[in-house]
Every structure is written in structure tokens, then in C-alpha cells.
């Protein structure tokens, strides 16, 4: 897609990917509501295929390619959830995924990509070498690059989580909170909300140590990220496709510290009895930080993913005791 | 109820408690299926009110009392999930719950009971003193004792989880696995299966270090429990009401070691992204232990609860590394 997705693009994306993804559950908890002082609806993308919402966007992008392009394969550089999501989507349509990953990426992530038949090309752990290596792979294979967030088909796919959430709650939400990293989920959510729940305000949660989106809204241009947070899925900066959508559509960006993120993450584990990764806890941390704003309201929160090593989670919890 | 519950008793119990409990979700996971070699349907009672299936039985028992009996309050001795479930049920109908707890019970459990307005009477940590203290409380208050499992109304309430599971899966299950401690959940599940899914075989998982139910089936009479397992919700022996139901209705009891329990628990955390307590992982550990038996079959597993202190869980995981 070469333009910002509209209503029909989102509906069509949902129709297209439906049979390849989970319609994840929406969870509520009276003890969470008592703590937060509002009615919280968690959209559980931690239960999504590959453990994160990224399965949606990658699936939609791969299914949107022409048969000829599909046959040549897809490529990306990523060490995170998008790598696995793209490898899975490629496997489903019977093509190849070429994933450029830094040498230093954890073995478990590489294993995840290989489990779906993805072909890994290693590179130096710098953005310059990642991009150079990806360009070489694309030139050699003819594969289509699928960017993790700066891609309209990916954005349309990520927007389908909000569509399902709006369908699941009986009355409209006052607020819908999502995390922001590169802005794919936030952009898709903004578009979905505009068409399917126009009275709902979209708010993003962002780590204080990677608050480029917050600063970009203030300066009016995309700012680089300091990339310093436990929320390792949210360290990237906005792209030229996500920035304008967010600038026009986000109601507010609330920044939270690492300690607030870890405490919110622990509350979700203990009270909702589900596993979420640090990045995933960021929007709920934002709700807890600004309780007056949400008091008594109906608040949707998209839980973005659950891919966290248990030992790492235990260390994080211990660090704020 | 003074007789073994029948079909209508279970249906009526479900109708009666429905608005006070969660209809918990049924979760599936392709990675769990790949590991187990069968199609697993998890009925997630870890998401139930108070974090365990016990909310069902206690609610049904309290709602089954006459208005006069309700007004005099309810009583039990328990240091576990039943204590909180009974306090909650009493609060809902506007009466008192008198809970006898050993002095040594963790403060967090006492807090849970008090949060629902339950009145705690402390006793020495012996069964004899628990029973003596409970008898005194009942004599003083006129409250009705609600036993955690040796009570037909409690058994009928616990059976409603299986009814919901049968409704949720499209085709019949070949097997349904539940944990066994005192046998309330197992008895209720056996009765529900007999009436609502008669082709399904009910199998219990039991800790090897508290395998009284397994030994009772062999000897033909209730045997005492050694009470030595990490699965702290399953240490009690069967009662005179649960033993005959189980003897007639259980297809098999599979025992599992503490290490098998902890590894199954970790798998559920990592692959299903949900928090379950050690007792809750016992039936899934049984599936993993006897894979040939379940190969290619449709296997229901009732996940009984998620009340585990995170630090304790981390220590358990570290202990089997």
C-alpha cells in the first residue's frame, strides 16, 4: 500500500489475516480496577501467535504482496518479535524469509526465527551494517523488504487489534492506551479508532529513557531516541510514515520510568495472572501514573507481548524491591 | 444437599453462581500441542475470582443455605484458597464468614480473607486444634460449617468448570484431566462428565509425595496422605463423600514428581504466558509423563489456580535447572 490506510484497508486487512492469527481475549480484573481507579480492558496480544501483536502486521504485509513478489521472498533486519513474525508469515504462504540479525542477538531469538524456517544473515551490531547487509540480501535474492513499522500494510495489520477490542467491549471506551516504539501499533490504533470508535482518545505510553515520540510531538519533527530503557521493544525512533499519523492522531504521550514499568509489569503478573514483557507494561504504567486523568473511566490497554525470559523478569522484579 | 448431586443439581448450581463468577476462558497453544503431542484445551480457573476454582463451590454452598442459615454466617478451617472463596461468598450475600486459620498461616493469606470482611480465629497448626477451634466457633455463632471439599454443594459448584469447558470445545474431549487433593474438583468433574460428555475419560493428576488418592484406589479404602509436595493445594486426603464418587468414576490417577510438576508449571508460564501455581500444573505434568496415552487425542486440562508468590515460583524454577 502506498498511502495511509483507510477504513476499508483495515477491514480488509482483518478479513485477510483472521484465519492466521488468534482473536485474543480481553481480560478484566476487579482488583486491577480497584488499584487503577478506573475500568480497565486488557487486549491480550501477549497470547497472540509468536507472543506479540507483530504477528498481525507481518501477516498482512506478506499477504498483500503480489504472487510474484511473494515467490521471491521477504526480508527485514530485526532482532525482535518482527523477525519471528515475518518468518512465520513467510512460512504460511510457502516462501522464504531472509532475516538480518546482529551477531550479538541472543541465541533464543535466532532459534525462534529458524523454527519457522527463516534464513538468518548475521551482521555487525550497528544500524549502518544492518542496513547495508539487508540491502545486499535484497539485491541478491530479489526479496521484498518488510519494515517492522514504517510500512502501511504493517500499520493496517497492527490496527486490527483495536478493531477486535472495540467489538469486544459493550460500550465505547473513553481511552485506549498503547505503547510507542517505532509507532506501527500506535499508528494502526489511531486509524482504527478514528473509524470504529471516534469518541475514544488514543494515548501512548513511552519509556522516559527512550522518549523520542514525546519529544517529537513537542518539536514537530521526528527526534532520535536515546534508547535507554528496560522496555527493549520500544527503543527505536518513529519513521516518516508513522510520525505524521501519530502527530495528527495521538491525544497525548505519557512517559514512565523503568521503575514504574517494572512495578506495573509485576502488578499485571500478580493480579491478572498473565505474563507480559517490560515493553508491554508501559501503557498500564502510564494509567497508574496519571490516575486522576482516568478516574472512573473506561480504559482499553493493548498488552503488546509476552516474550520475556523468566530469569530476566525475576531480576527486574528484584531490582525494584 | 444430602445426596450425591445429579444432572439438575449441577445445572442449577451453574445457574445460581453464574453472575458471581467468571466464565473463564479456554486457551490453546500450538507450541504446547507440539510438545505434548496432543491437542490441549486449558480451562483457565487461574483467572477465576480469588484466582482459583474454589470460588465456584463456596459460592454455590453459601447460596444453597436457607435465608435463616445464611443469616447466622458460615465457617470453615482453611489456610488456602477456600478460606478466601468462602469469605467472598459470605460478603456477597451479606453475612459473616468465620475462618479458623493456623497461627503460622502466611500474612498474605490472612490479608486476603480480611479483604472480604472474613473474621479470623487463630489456632495451633494441628488438624486436631483446627477442628476443635472450628467446633467452638460454630457453637458460639450458630454458623454453618462449609467444608472445603467434603460437601455436596461444594462438589456441585466445582463441577460447573467442566460444564463450561464442554460447552466451549466444539467436539467432545477424549480425556479431561484435573488435579486431586481432597477430591472436590475431581468429584464435581466426574459427575459433570457423566452427564454432559459421557465419552470423555476423567483422569486425575496427583503429586507422588501426596499420592493418597492413587493408593486409595488400589486398597479400596481412603488412605492418609504423606503431604509431602510442592503442590501445596493437594496435600489433603479424600473425604467420605469424595472417595466413593472418585472410586466409581475416575478412569486413572497418574502420579508425578515435584520436579515434573515444576517443569510443567514453567512450560505453562513460558508457552501459554499465564501464571499457574504448582498444584495447578499437576495434571499437565501427567499429560507430559504419559505422552503415548494421549497421543493425537483431544485433552482438556482444568488449570485450578494461579495463587503463587512470584519469589517462591522463581526459587522453584531455579531448583530444577
Which residue of chain B is at minimal alpha-carbon distance from A273? B275
Name which of A25, A310, A317 is nearest B25 (Cβ-Cβ).
A25
Weakest mean pLDDT among A100-114, B129-143, B153-167:
A100-114
Cα–Cα distance, B183 to B155 (Å, whole number): 9
Q: Mean pLDDT throughout A176-193?
A: 98
* pTM for this prediction: 0.94
Provide the pairing of β-strand A74-77 with B39-44.
Answer: unpaired
Range A153-172 average pLDDT: 97
Contact B175, B199 (CB under 8 A): no
Q: List pLDDT tens digits, range B89-115.
A: 999 999 999 999 989 888 888 988 999
Do residues A99 and A83 make contact, with C-beta atoms less than 8 angstroms apart? yes
Query: Where in chain A are the domains?
Result: 7-53+153-319, 55-149
d(CA A285, CA B104): 35
Residue-level pLDDT at A106: 80
What is the third-level CATH fold of B55-150? Rossmann fold (3.40.50)
Give me the sign of the Cα torsion angle B164, B169, B170, B171. Answer: negative
Q: Domain A55-149 has what CATH class?
A: alpha beta
CB within 8 Å: A273 and B314: no
Nearest Cα to A193, choosing from A220, A172, A168? Answer: A172
For the ranges B103-112, B120-129, B168-177, the one whose mean pLDDT is highest: B168-177
Which residues, in sequence order, are bridge partners of residue A317? none
Q: A7-53+153-319 belongs to which CATH class? A: alpha beta
Answer for the pair A177, A299: CB distance below 8 angstroms, yes or no. Answer: yes
Q: What's the grid cell of residue A141?
A: 535474492
Asked if A47 and B269 come within 8 Å (Cβ–Cβ), the reply is: no
pLDDT, residue A125, reads 87
* Contacting residues of B for A317, CB less than 8 Å apart: 310
Contact B310 A270 (CB under 8 A): yes
Do B7-53+153-319 and B55-150 have matching folds? yes
Q: Which of B88, B274, B305, B320 to mutate to test the interface with A (most CBs of A within 10 A)?
A: B274
Query: Which of A30, A275, A317 is closest, CB to CB, to B274?
Result: A275
Encode pLDDT of A215-261 as tens digits.
999 999 999 999 999 999 999 999 999 999 999 999 999 999 999 99
% of chain A residues with pLDDT over 90: 94
pLDDT computed for residue B105 by the predictor: 84
- Most B CBs within 10 Å, among A274, A277, A303, A315, to test the B interface: A274
Residue count (chain A): 321
Beta bridge partners, B179, equal: B205
Query: Closest approach of chain A CAs to the CA of B216, in angstroms?
Result: 34
Query: How many whole angstroms separate alpha carbon A10 and alpha carbon B11?
Result: 42
Residue-level pLDDT at A321: 81
Point out the residue among B27, B30, B270 whose CB comes nearest to the CB of A310: B270
> What's the average model confidence in pLDDT over A115-133?
93
**Interaxial angle between packed helices B160-168 and B184-196, expressed in degrees from 0 to 180 and rounded to the nearest 10:** 40
Amino acid at each position: 500500500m502506498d498511502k495511509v490506510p483507510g477504513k476499508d484497508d483495515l477491514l480488509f486487512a482483518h478479513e485477510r489475516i483472521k484465519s492466521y492469527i488468534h482473536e485474543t481475549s480481553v481480560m478484566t480484573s476487579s482488583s486491577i480496577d480497584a488499584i487503577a481507579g478506573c475500568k480497565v480492558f486488557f487486549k491480550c496480544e501477549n497470547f497472540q501467535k509468536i507472543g506479540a501483536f507483530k504477528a498481525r502486521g507481518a501477516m498482512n504485509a506478506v499477504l498483500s504482496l503480489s504472487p510474484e513478489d511473494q515467490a521471491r521472498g521477504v526480508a527485514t533486519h530485526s532482532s525482535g518479535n518482527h523477525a519471528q513474525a515475518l518468518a512465520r508469515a513467510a512460512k504460511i504462504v510457502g516462501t522464504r524469509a531472509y532475516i538480518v540479525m546482529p551477531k550479538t542477538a541472543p541465541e533464543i531469538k535466532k532459534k525462534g526465527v529458524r523454527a519457522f524456517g527463516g534464513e538468518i544473515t548475521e551482521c555487525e551490531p550497528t544500524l549502518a551494517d544492518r542496513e547495508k547487509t539487508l540491502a545486499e540480501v535484497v539485491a541478491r535474492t530479489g526479496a521484498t523488504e518488510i519494515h517492522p513499522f514504517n510500512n502501511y500494510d504493517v500499520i493496517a495489520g497492527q490496527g486490527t487489534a483495536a478493531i477486535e477490542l472495540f467489538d469486544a467491549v459493550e460500550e465505547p471506551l473513553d481511552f485506549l492506551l498503547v505503547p510507542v516504539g517505532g509507532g506501527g501499533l500506535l499508528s494502526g490504533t489511531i486509524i482504527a479508532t478514528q473509524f470504529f470508535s471516534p469518541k475514544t482518545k488514543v494515548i501512548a505510553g513511552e519509556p522516559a529513557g527512550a522518549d523520542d515520540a514525546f519529544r517529537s510531538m513537542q518539536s514537530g519533527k521526528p527526534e532520535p531516541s536515546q534508547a535507554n530503557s528496560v522496555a527493549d521493544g520500544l527503543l527505536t525512533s518513529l519513521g516518516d510514515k508513522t510520525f505524521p499519523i501519530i502527530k495528527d492522531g495521538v491525544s497525548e504521550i505519557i512517559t514512565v520510568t523503568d521503575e514504574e514499568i517494572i512495578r506495573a509489569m509485576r502488578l499485571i503478573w500478580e493480579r491478572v495472572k498473565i505474563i507480559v514483557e517490560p515493553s508491554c507494561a508501559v501503557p498500564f504504567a502510564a494509567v497508574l501514573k496519571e490516575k486522576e486523568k482516568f478516574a472512573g473511566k473506561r480504559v482499553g490497554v493493548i498488552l503488546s507481548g509476552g516474550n520475556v525470559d523468566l530469569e530476566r523478569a525475576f531480576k527486574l522484579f528484584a531490582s525494584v524491591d
